[in-house]
């Protein structure tokens, strides 16, 4: 698994999580950890998607004001 552009702090947290998973011998705990990880990953993706939408809206609004465009508005 490739980890692109992770900060030192992110790599530290990742390694700590890996050690916790490696030390775990209880299948129910592993299931719970897996569900938490997947949920966190999906929440991150949703946050990033919403942030990109907001940035796009703000950029289009700025361009509209600066150049007189009417993005998303019918004439």
CA distance 20 to 33: 9
The pLDDT assigned to 67 comes to: 75
φ, ψ for residue 68, nearest 5 deg: 80, 20
pLDDT, tens digit, 9 for 90 and up, residues 31-51 = 998 899 899 999 999 999 999
CB contact at 8 A, 7 and 1: no
> Which 8-state DSSP code applies to residue 69?
-
CA distance 67 to 74: 17
pTM score: 0.62
């Amino acid at each position: 698994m490739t980890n692109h552009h992770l900060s030192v702090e992110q790599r530290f947290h990742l390694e700590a999580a890996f050690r916790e998973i490696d030390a775990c011998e209880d299948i129910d705990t592993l299931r719970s950890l897996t569900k938490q990880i997947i949920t966190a990953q999906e929440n991150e993706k949703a946050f990033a998607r919403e942030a990109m939408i907001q940035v796009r809206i703000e950029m289009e609004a700025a361009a509209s004001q600066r150049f007189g465009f009417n993005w998303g508005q019918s004439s």
